[in-house]
Structure 1
Amino acid sequence: MKFLQAIPLISTILILVEQSHAEKCDRIKIGKEYYKRTLIATIDGYPTGMVIDPRTDHIFFLLNKRNYTKGLHLLKHGSLGIKQLAVPDDMIGQCVGIDTANNIIYIGTNQGLIVYDYAKTEISGERPLGDDDIRSIFIDKSDNQMYIITGSSREVFRFMNGTTAIKRFEKIPRAYSFIIDSKSNAFYEYVDGKIYFYSADLYEPIQYKGFTRELKYVLQLNNNDEAILGVKGSLFKLHVNNILPEKIAQFGFKITGIAFDTKNNIVIGTKGKIYRFKPINSNDPCPPDDYFMSNI
């Protein structure tokens, strides 16, 4: 009789253990896969312009707080802290671009491009490339072509054949951000606050429907050469054969930065936090963490 009375208690314990296990995993569906969410950094502000160095998994980002920026920061993989990149006093670091083919990390400043070296404590600004006010950098992995967005007018230029000479990018004369896939399809946020794509098979840009004028889009290419857009708390996949974006995830926070590493993890920034979303293996539903949580 006492054994029968204990059965409900055992069942309750099992349910609580299962619930605790599920909460620990903190699963979310992105596209057709489930991901585990891990908090890897807490920050005083919110990150934008996130870039991951594929050689080291280090994360670069611009830290913003209210209506001003607190400079470019670096979160090293497995590190216990985040450090600010020390650009020269007369320059303002505004973005990062990583040329993996040539093993170069570029920093865009208000006075041109400078190069960052992990081994040095400070960044040399003695020989900047050009004197443009560089707001964004995109490096096309298919041909290693580098593009920049300059000034308050957000004009788009590309570097010519590995030289320091630049030429206006005729397809996208002005933009807040843009990406180009391996098929030469361009996706961008124009200065009118709308999202467009310029297909390699078409002669004019096409506007995506279903978005309001936000001016707070986050646009990135994932490891499958797909255009991923973050707006408010949602992720969308953009296609060139459909003007309607495909919603692939909904989060409980506003997205301010997105980056993809070589392990198919997705790093997402929001106010006060940076999360890593790791694909869940069916054989390992709760994979162990390999990051220390960092604070700033």
Structure 2
Amino acid sequence: MQALKRSLTTILPIFIVLFNIYSAEKCERIKIGTEYYKRQLVATIDGYPTGMVIDPRTEHIFFILHKRNYTKGIHLLKHGSLGIKELPVSDDLIGQCVGIDVQNNVIYIGTNQGILTYDYTRSEISAERPIGDDDVRNIFIDKTDNQMYITTGSSREIFRFMNGSAAVKRYDRIPKAYNFLLDSKGNAFYEYVDGRLYFFSIDYFEPIQYKGFTRELKYILELNNNDEAIVAVKGSLFKLSTKSILPVKVAQLGFKITGMAFDHKNNIVIGTKGKIYRYKPLNANDPCPADDYFMSSI
């Protein structure tokens, strides 16, 4: 009996250590801002995703797939799906961005020849809201008033749709930008065509440049669920504010970020070469949430 007790005393600590190692691997945590997240692999892809957008009604993910030296259209990863499919954009058009108007239940596809709409139920694309042959590079829909903005052409000029019609008006506050967004207060955050990040506060009369970044074309700029501007630069995430010209680093992910989007559950979807990840917040009641995505591949 004494020998058995000694054996158990020896084995038990080893078991606890192995269990802790297994748990740590299973529930690997990363701190983003003040919260801890679990990383889940959503999909493996041949290439890398950009322009990621999440439909909050369905949790479906839209993105542009880039393969080696060419772009291979806009793709859709449905929540819980086993596969990824390319949207049926006509061969003579190039899909360049996606905008989701949740209030009016419309999905817009920006192309090199105007804006199209996409219907899930029929898996069909139509041109219900054509705007001529404009080269639409980016779509932003302001959640506070549902105004839709587009960035057009190689010069990256910004226009706003007027009163839900097909008429557009130049947005003079930001004449040109690669990337731009407005928070609920009306503060603008954007990457100007000089490759630098700026903010235009409602409290000031001119834009102000952020310091601390080297000239980095094509920043990935998004609003999180706390109405904060988050920018991805290489492998890091930074929070932007109108109170300081210095961005605040909130995370280092360890790989080059090519796409980023926030869903309505405060999850962060991140794209990189070959993979799409989802970062899910952890809490004391659910320290290791289940993976509710099937792992997809393309």
Give the alignment's TM-score, normalised by structure 2: 0.97
- Note closer, same or farther for the CA distance 1:126–1:228 as it changes in structure 2 (3 Å cut): closer
Q: Match for residue 112 of structure 1?
A: 114
Q: Match of 1:148?
A: 150
Structure 2 match to 1:176 = 178
Match for residue 268 of structure 1 among 267, 270, 273: 270
Which residue of the other structure, out of 202, 208, 211, is the alignment partner of 1:209?
211
Q: Aligned partners of 2:159, 2:127: CA distance in 1, in Å?
A: 22
Are 2:157 and 1:159 aligned? no
Native 8 Å contact 1:88 1:125 kept in 2: no
1:138 to 134, 137, 140: 140
Distance across 1 between alignment mates of 2:45 and 2:287: 28
Residue type of the alignment partner of 2:37 = Y
Shift of 1:65: 1.8
Kept in 1, the 8 Å contact 2:96–2:112? The answer is yes
Unaligned runs of 5+ in 2: none
Deviation at 1:125, TM superposition (A): 4.2
Q: Is the contact between residue 209 and residue 244 of structure 1 (CA under 8 Å) also seen in structure 2?
A: yes
Distance (whole Å) between structure 2 residues aligned to residue 224 and residue 16 of structure 1: 39
CA shift, 1:25, in A, is 1.1
Write the deviation string for residues 60-96 of structure 1: whole angstroms up to 9, x where unpaired: 0001123321100000000000000011121111100
> What is the CA–CA distance in structure 1 between the aligned matches of 2:131 and 2:155, rounded to whole Å?
20
Q: TM-score of the superposition, structure 1-length normalised?
A: 0.97
For 2:132 and 2:18, the matched residues in 1 are separated by 61
Pairwise CA distance, 1:126: 7.6
Could you report, residue by residue, the CA deviation over 1:1-39 in whole angstroms, capped at 9, with x for unpaired residues?
Answer: 422244232211211111111111121001101001100
Unaligned runs of 5+ in 1: none
What letter is aligned with 1:53?
Answer: D
CA contact (8 A) 2:190 2:197 kept: yes
Q: In 1, are the aligned partners of 2:178 and 2:218 still within 8 Å (CA)?
A: no
Q: Structure 1 stretch 8-17 or stretch 35-44: which is displaced more?
A: 8-17
Equivalent residue number for residue 93 of structure 1: 95
Task: Name the aligned partner's letter for residue 175 of structure 1.
Answer: A
RMSD: 1.2
What displacement does 1:216 show? Answer: 3.2
Instruction: Determine the C-alpha separation between the residues in 1 that align with 2:25 and 2:65.
Output: 30
Q: Secondary structure at the match of 1:203?
A: coil
Distance 1:85 1:200 in 2: 38
Query: How far, CA to CA, are the matches of 2:111 and 2:136 in structure 1?
Result: 6
Q: Give the SS at the match of 2:23.
A: helix
Check the 8 A contact 1:88/1:124 in 2, yes or no.
no
**Please, which moves more after superposition, 159-168 or 32-41?**
159-168
**Residue-by-residue CA offset, 1:142-196 (whole Å, 9 max, x unaligned):** 0011011111111111111211111111111111100000100000001111000
How many equivalent pairs are there?
A: 296
Contact 1:130–1:164 (CA under 8 A) maintained in structure 2: no
Say which SS state the counterpart of residue 10 (structure 1) adopts.
helix
Letter in 2 for 1:144: N
Determine the structure 2 residue equivalent to 1:294: 296
Report the counterpart of residue 281 of structure 1 in structure 2.
283
Helix, strand or coil at the partner of 1:15 = helix
3-state SS, counterpart of residue 13 of structure 1: helix
Mapped to 2, the partners of 1:25 and 1:65 lie a distance apart of: 32
| CA–CA distance in structure 2, aligned partners of residues 54 and 179 of structure 1 | 18
Is residue 139–residue 145 contact of structure 1 (8 Å, CA) maintained in 2?
yes
Query: What residue identity is the alignment partner of 2:111?
Result: T
Name 2:6's counterpart in structure 1. Answer: 4
Conservation of the 8 A alpha-carbon contact between 2:63 and 2:76? yes
How far, CA to CA, are the matches of 1:235 and 1:41 in structure 2?
21
**Alignment partner of 1:50 out of 35, 49, 52:** 52
Q: One-letter code of the match for 1:280?
A: L
